[in-house]
């Protein structure tokens, strides 16, 4: 976890987390990306990075927990499919 406070989140970070708090459409996500000058293909990367910060957890714990849960489920699926190998096997 990367330490931080809510005040260390940028306005763009807060906008992304605020959007994730809602039931949004891909069009809304794309509009936000245009507004903050973020390539849409980088949105998920930024969101994943935010999920690893204490500041984001302090601001939007429900969003961070959902992103972390989905990431864990994705890794578990990849591992079951044999596409994610650990060094200790």
Sequence spans of domains, the chain: 6-78
* pTM for this predicted structure: 0.78
Give residue 85's pLDDT. Answer: 61
pLDDT of amino acid 5: 54
Backbone angles phi, psi at 21, to 5 degrees: -75, -20
Quick one: how far is CA 7 from the chain centroid? 18
Digitized pLDDT (tens) for each residue of the chain, 89 residues in all: 455 555 689 999 999 999 999 988 999 999 999 999 999 999 999 999 999 999 999 999 999 999 999 999 988 887 777 776 655 44
């Amino acid at each position: 976890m990367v330490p931080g406070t809510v005040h260390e989140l940028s306005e763009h970070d807060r906008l992304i987390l605020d959007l994730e708090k809602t039931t949004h459409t891909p069009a809304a996500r794309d509009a936000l990306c245009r507004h903050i000058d973020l390539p849409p293909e980088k949105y998920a990367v930024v969101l994943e990075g935010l999920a690893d910060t204490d500041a984001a957890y302090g601001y939007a714990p429900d969003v961070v927990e959902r992103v972390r849960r989905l990431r864990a489920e994705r890794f578990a699926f990849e591992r079951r499919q044999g596409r994610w190998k650990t060094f200790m096997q």
